[in-house]
């Protein structure tokens, strides 16, 4: 039977060593990443409610905060469960990313003098790690602005969710729209490679056709997220909503 001949830690069983492998870390990144993408899709769709009218949007926002799963759960519980799950996904995702990054730096310890010819690597794939760090910073900024309201640009603590959105993305705050365009752009690049990568990590790449299909889907989801998230801010900036 196969035995471990090179075990770095002989006190562990083969099963335990496999559990600590890069493939398992990748699988954790894949599952958490897909949960985050699913969340983003719902978040994007929910934002579009603002095109209905102020009341619909505010109602949706208060439903998110207070009413989901009521009466099974008391008012306001769901949002906290939801936040804990998302935070756990983000922490798990970033922890595994850091660990794999360290392993890869160790493995690719010397660089080629003649720049490596990499015909397959897309820009999105090459920037997953740096892009991820930028993404993390922008997520924190986003939460400080719209969740905790610690950064108030174009609104104050008394604003309704709708007023908050209209104020933040008004024409005089064009640079906020620009920051969000960059933010959403970075997210979409990450999703462009991440979506395909996650399914492949979980074993869905069964052949050349699956590779094409998964990559097409990845482009579709990335573009959908970009358009869906940018519609409200751009429409507000150009005064098409008030």
Partner 1 sequence: MKITLRIWRQANKDAQGKMQTYQLDNVSEEMSFLEMLDLLNEQLTDQDVEPVAFDHDCREGICGMCGVVINGAPHGRYNSPVATTTCQLHMRNFKDGDVIDIEPWRAGAFPVIKDLAVDRSAFDRIIQAGGYISVNTGSAPDAHSTPAPKREADKAFDAATCIGCGACVAACPNSSGMLFTSAKIAHLANLPQGQPERRLRVKAMVAAHDENGFGGCTNVGECAAVCPKSIPLESIGQLNRDLIASLFRGDGRTIS
Which residues contact partner 1 (rule: CB under 8 A)?
1-8, 10-15, 17-27, 100, 103-104, 106-121, 125-126, 128, 193, 196-197, 200-208, 210-211
Q: Are 221 and 187 in contact (CB under 8 A)?
A: no
Tokens of 139: 């997520």
Cα Rg for the chain, rounded, in angstroms? 21
CA separation, residue 121 to residues 82, 111, 125, 134 (Å): 35, 16, 6, 20
Does position 93 interact with ligand HEM (CB under 6 A)? The reply is yes
Span between the terminal Cα atoms of the chain, in Å: 71
Decide whether 36 or 164 has the Cβ nearer to ligand HEM: 36
**Alpha helices by DSSP H, 108-207:** 123-126, 128-142, 161-168, 174-201
Q: Are 225 and 188 in contact (CB under 8 A)?
A: yes
Decide whether 72 or 113 has the Cβ nearer to partner 1: 113
Report the nearest approach of partner 1 to the CB of residue 69 (Å). Answer: 31
Candidates 46, 132, 154, 185; binder of ligand HEM (CB under 6 A) is 132
Residue 219 buriedness (CB in 10 A; 0-12 / 13-18 / 19+):
middle
Stretch touching ligand HEM by CB under 6 A, among 3-11, 14-22, 128-136, 153-161: 128-136
Q: At what angle do helices 128-142 and 77-107 cross, to 10 degrees?
A: 150
Stretch touching ligand HEM by CB under 6 A, among 79-87, 156-164, 167-175, 188-196: 188-196
Candidates 79, 94, 143, 224; binder of ligand HEM (CB under 6 A) is 94
* Contacts for 179 with CB less than 8 Å, ≥ 6 apart: 138, 141
Decide whether 195 or 226 has the Cβ nearer to ligand HEM: 195
Stretch touching ligand HEM by CB under 6 A, among 147-155, 175-183, 197-205, 228-236: 197-205
Which residues are at the interface with ligand HEM (CB under 6 A)? 26, 29-30, 33-34, 36-37, 40, 93-94, 97, 125, 128-129, 132-133, 135-136, 187, 190-191, 193-195, 197-198, 201
């Amino acid at each position: 039977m196969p035995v471990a001949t090179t075990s770095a830690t002989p006190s562990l069983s083969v099963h335990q060593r496999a559990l600590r492998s890069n493939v398992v870390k990748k699988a954790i990144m894949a599952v958490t990443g897909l949960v985050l993408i699913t969340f983003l899709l719902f978040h994007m769709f929910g934002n579009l409610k603002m095109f209905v009218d102020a009341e619909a949007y505010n109602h949706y926002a208060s439903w998110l905060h207070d009413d989901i799963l009521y009466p099974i759960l008391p008012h306001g519980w769901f949002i906290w469960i939801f936040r804990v799950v998302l935070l756990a996904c983000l922490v798990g995702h970033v922890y595994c990313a850091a660990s794999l990054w360290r392993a890869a730096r160790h493995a690719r310890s010397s660089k080629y003098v003649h720049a490596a010819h990499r015909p397959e690597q897309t820009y999105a794939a090459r920037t997953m790690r740096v892009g991820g760090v930028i993404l993390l910073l922008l997520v924190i900024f986003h939460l400080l602005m719209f969740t905790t309201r610690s950064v108030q640009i174009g609104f104050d603590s008394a604003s309704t969710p709708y007023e908050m959105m209209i104020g933040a993305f008004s024409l005089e705050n064009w640079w906020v729209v620009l920051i969000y365009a960059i933010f959403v752009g970075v997210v979409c690049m990450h999703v462009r490679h991440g979506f395909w990568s996650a399914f492949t990590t979980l074993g869905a790449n069964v052949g050349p056709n699956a590779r094409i299909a998964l990559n097409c889907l990845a482009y579709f989801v990335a573009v959908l997220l970009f358009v869906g998230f940018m519609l409200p801010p751009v429409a507000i900036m150009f005064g098409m909503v008030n």
